[in-house]
């Protein structure tokens, strides 16, 4: 290897900004992927971070190589560098620096922007700075040019909305509004498990790490691998998941614990316990969205649906709707919760509200506060933050959110409980897809800089991305979600439309299918756009156009549009300043 040690400082700077870019991808984009799961109460923040850590990392390492190649090779024509390896290193470093800075600003202000478009726009900006407009692949370029990528701004949300709406409508009319909904839900659940597993398996097979060479296998072998893997998961769901949910939902076994899941078929013969002494005992978690001091803000008009015992009932009685809307003297409606109160509400482990520093920070007392209080506070804030309390809105915004939720139909907790399991699986699929697609935004340019620095030549057209670089990006993505993802989560979720496990499952599956299809063809689409489109599609099918917060979607769209000129102009100007600066 011919290391360019004279450019060690450029490599070091690129490494730092690559980590920062990956960190903000985790805080901004991964939060988008898991906002549906956390907002619908299928996952806690802690559970979401753990699952994201596993799925994002595996997606980045196993599936991220081909998309990373598109980012580092398909946007700027290699001839623009004119054989100057140092200029190529500087160009990609400037692009990463401006992309990471813009993402940090957006995340700090709770703007869910497209991390893909931020990096692609920055690369286009440095390309123009190098050799004018002709240096950038503006056209389709065999699916790798800017034309392909920016077409996704309209195509990705539309396709994701169609997939999300389709999944939700199938779920709604096959299960949710049926007589004996519990029976129908249990009957079709293995089909859902089969479908979701098939999507995940296809992503691994067709987009696996180049060293695995899974896509080189015979087509018959690939088809058998997909079908058999999905079939095994569907069978396991029938053996273990079905009896567990049946005891929990139908028999209302309040003594059932999570580890009883592994008893599988033995649960069918488990004796039903006596009814609990508490008449208001919750047999399953309460998935309704509470935004008014403990009452359900999403109370809907009466409509036919299936109750937990399998008989025809109603979604909510008129009397209950009035009670939920009116509140009570003991629990008044509280739709406008200040953010400071949200911070105070979720106090755990003694890591909240660190004592202020007094005097110089180097004083022993202040250093002890930093070590014992401030560091644990910032490390755990993302996991302990009360996302649901932050999603109720303030002032007029809170009123709009409350009215929006009132337009959506509320289903029984028992029925929603079945889909919380499926939503966890779709959340993992979505997270895996995100790791495979968006890790390229951070490590693609860094991989190019590493190649130039280590080999001493311009990158060829096709260069593999080292696995350690993909792992590096995956680790920082997870850290970003764990420490700062809540800042985007509180701006999404129930602020866009009312969430529940059945809705969130549909949103996540619709989005993951769209992302994985794009990833298979090497097109770096934005997961932000996919989940936003899928959320809108499900929201419209759930309660009509009034059930969607179009104002919030408008701000999200504005952020997508502003990302292009801001990131592109900043990167182009920064590179032009460096290469044209006066020197001795």
Least confident of 15-19, 279-283, 441-445, 493-497: 279-283
- What is the rounded average pLDDT of the residues 406-419? 85
pLDDT digits (tens, 9 = 90+) for 360-370: 878 888 888 88
CA atoms within 13 A of residue 318's CA, in its CB half-sphere: 0
CA distance linking residue 512 with residue 197, whole number of Å: 12
pLDDT above 50 (res 92): yes
pLDDT of residue 303: 39
pLDDT above 80 (res 269): yes
Instruction: Using a cut of 0.75, tell me whether the model's pTM lies above it.
Output: yes
pLDDT digits (tens, 9 = 90+) for 327-354: 333 333 333 344 444 444 443 333 457 7
Highest mean pLDDT (candidates 47-61, 105-119, 183-197, 372-386): 183-197
pLDDT above 90 (res 394): no
CA distance linking residue 158 with residue 525, whole number of Å: 12
pLDDT of residue 265: 92
Higher pLDDT, 557 or 567: 567
Residue 21, C-beta contacts closer than 8 angstroms, at least 6 positions apart: 96, 99, 100, 103, 115, 119, 441, 442
Mean pLDDT over all residues of the chain?
78
- pLDDT-derived band of residue 237, with 50, 70 and 90 as boundaries? very high
Least confident of 130-134, 554-558, 565-569: 130-134
- What is the rounded average pLDDT of the residues 103-126? 86
pLDDT of residue 250: 85
pLDDT above 90 (res 230): yes
User: Is the Cβ–Cβ distance between 106 and 559 less than 8 Å?
Assistant: yes
pLDDT above 90 (res 403): no
CA distance linking residue 225 with residue 234, whole number of Å: 14
pLDDT of residue 297: 40
The domains of the chain are located at: 5-178+412-579, 342-406
Token couple for 37? 């799961």
SS (HEC) of 325-379: HHCCCCCCCCCCCCHHHHHHHCCCCCCCCCCCCCCCCCCHHHHHHHHHHHHHHHH
Element (H, E) at 304: strand 304-306
pLDDT digits (tens, 9 = 90+) for 45-65: 888 888 888 888 887 777 666
Start-to-end CA distance of the chain, whole Å, equals: 31
- pLDDT-derived band of residue 212, with 50, 70 and 90 as boundaries? low
User: Is the Cβ–Cβ distance between 58 and 521 less than 8 Å?
Assistant: no
pLDDT digits (tens, 9 = 90+) for 455-508: 888 877 667 778 888 888 888 988 888 888 888 887 777 888 888 999 988 998
pLDDT above 80 (res 566): yes
Looking up tokens 């790490």 gives: 209
pLDDT above 80 (res 219): yes
* 3-state DSSP helix/strand/coil % of the chain, to nearest 5: 70, 0, 30
CA distance linking residue 498 with residue 535, whole number of Å: 10
Distances (CA, A) of 124 to 98, 102, 127: 12, 15, 5
SS (HEC) of 313-328: EECCCHHHHHHHHHCC
Residue 300, C-beta contacts closer than 8 angstroms, at least 6 positions apart: 315, 316, 321, 406, 407, 408, 409, 410, 543
């Amino acid at each position: 290897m011919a290391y360019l040690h004279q450019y060690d400082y450029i490599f070091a700077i690129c490494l730092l900004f690559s980590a920062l870019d990956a960190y903000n991808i985790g805080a901004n984009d991964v939060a988008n992927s898991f906002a549906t799961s956390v907002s619908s109460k299928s996952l806690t923040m802690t559970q979401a971070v753990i699952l994201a850590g596993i799925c994002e990392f595996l997606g980045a390492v196993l599936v991220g190589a081909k998309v990373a190649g598109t980012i580092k090779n398909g946007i700027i024509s290699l001839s623009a560098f004119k054989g100057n390896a140092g200029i190529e290193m500087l160009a990609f470093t400037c692009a990463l620096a401006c992309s990471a800075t813009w993402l940090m600003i957006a995340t700090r202000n709770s703007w869910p922007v497209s991390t893909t478009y931020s990096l692609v726009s920055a690369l286009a900006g440095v390309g123009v700075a190098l050799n004018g407009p002709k240096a950038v692949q503006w056209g389709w370029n065999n699916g790798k040019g800017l034309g392909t990528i920016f077409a996704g701004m309209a195509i990705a949300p539309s396709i994701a909305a169609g997939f999300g709406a389709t999944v939700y409508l199938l779920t709604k009319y096959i299960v949710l509004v049926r007589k004996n909904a519990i029976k129908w839900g249990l009957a079709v659940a293995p089909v859902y498990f089969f479908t979701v597993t098939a999507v995940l398996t296809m992503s691994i097979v067709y987009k696996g790490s180049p060293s695995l060479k899974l896509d080189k296998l015979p087509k018959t072998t690939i088809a058998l691998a997909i079908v058999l893997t999905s079939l095994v998961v569907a069978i396991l769901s029938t053996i273990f998941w079905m009896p567990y949910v049946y005891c929990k939902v139908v028999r209302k076994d309040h003594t059932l614990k999570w580890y009883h899941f592994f008893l599988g078929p033995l649960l069918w013969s488990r004796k039903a316990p006596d009814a609990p002494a508490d008449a208001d005992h919750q047999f399953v978690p309460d998935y309704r969205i509470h935004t008014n001091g403990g009452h359900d803000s999403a109370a809907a008009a009466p409509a036919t649906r299936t109750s937990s015992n399998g008989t025809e009932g109603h979604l909510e009685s008129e009397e209950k709707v009035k009670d939920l809307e009116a509140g009570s003297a003991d629990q008044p409606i509280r739709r406008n919760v200040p953010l400071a109160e949200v911070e105070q509400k979720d106090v755990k482990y003694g890591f909240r509200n660190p004592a202020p520093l007094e005097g110089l920070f180097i004083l022993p007392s202040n250093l002890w506060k930093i070590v014992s209080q401030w560091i644990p506070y910032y490390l755990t804030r993302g996991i302990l933050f009360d996302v649901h309390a932050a999603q109720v809105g303030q002032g007029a915004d809170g009123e709009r959110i409350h009215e929006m939720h009132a337009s959506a139909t509320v289903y029984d907790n028992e029925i929603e409980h079945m889909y919380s399991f499926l939503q966890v699986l779709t959340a993992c699929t979505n997270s895996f897809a995100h790791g495979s697609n968006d890790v390229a935004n951070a490590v693609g340019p860094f991989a190019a800089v590493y190649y130039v620095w280590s080999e001493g030549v311009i990158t060829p057209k096709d260069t593999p991305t080292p696995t350690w670089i993909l792992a590096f990006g995956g680790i920082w993505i997870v850290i970003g979600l764990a420490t700062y993802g809540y800042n985007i989560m509180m701006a999404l979720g129930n602020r866009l439309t009312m969430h529940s496990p059945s809705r969130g499952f549909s949103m996540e599956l619709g989005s993951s299918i769209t992302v994985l299809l794009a990833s298979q063809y090497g097109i770096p689409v934005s997961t932000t756009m996919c989940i936003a489109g899928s959320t809108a599609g499900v929201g419209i099918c759930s309660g009509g156009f009034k059930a969607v917060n179009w104002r919030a979607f408008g701000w999200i769209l504005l952020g997508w549009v502003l990302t292009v000129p801001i990131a592109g102009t900043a990167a182009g100007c920064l590179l032009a300043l460096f290469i044209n600066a006066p020197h001795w």
